[in-house]
Amino acid sequence: MPEALKTVLFILFAVGAMILALRIAGWKMKKACDLIIRDLKEKKAIDPASAVELPYVKSPMINIGLRDYRPRALEELVKNDVVRMLEGGRYYLREGHKLE
């Protein structure tokens, strides 16, 4: 096999692996967002009066095991105004939220 063909195949393999890793991370982030929204709906946290504290707001200092996407997903939900945060670390689901 010529060296040029090996190089091209290696580059294609590396790009494909990177795209796959990004797709998996995006899928896990979406799953974490859905979990947070479902959790807030189950706790009926739909307005400031019913806001609740979430146990997974901060990621642990020492991470043993698989990565937890929930803290980062919660940041993104707050940034996109799907979930609102009150002082004291309480969260509630904005009424009429739409996920893109």
**Looking at the 3D structure of the chain, how many domains does it have?**
1
Q: Is residue 98 part of a domain?
A: no
Q: Per-residue pLDDT for 97 more than 90? A: no
Per-residue confidence (pLDDT) for residue 74, from 0 to 100: 92
If phi > 0 it is left, if psi is from -120 to 50 it is alpha, else beta; for residue 44 that is left
Give the residue carrying structure tokens 């294609």: 12
Q: Is residue 29 part of a domain?
A: yes
Predicted TM-score (pTM) of this structure: 0.78
Angstrom distance (rounded) from CA 82 to CA 96: 9
Q: What is the DSSP letter of 57?
A: S
For the stretch 23-78, pLDDT in tens is 999 999 999 999 999 999 999 888 889 999 988 877 667 777 778 889 899 999 99
Tell me the pLDDT of the chain averaged across its residues. 88
Per the structure, the complete domain to which residue 41 belongs is given by 3-93
For the stretch 64-88, pLDDT in tens is 777 888 989 999 999 998 999 998 8
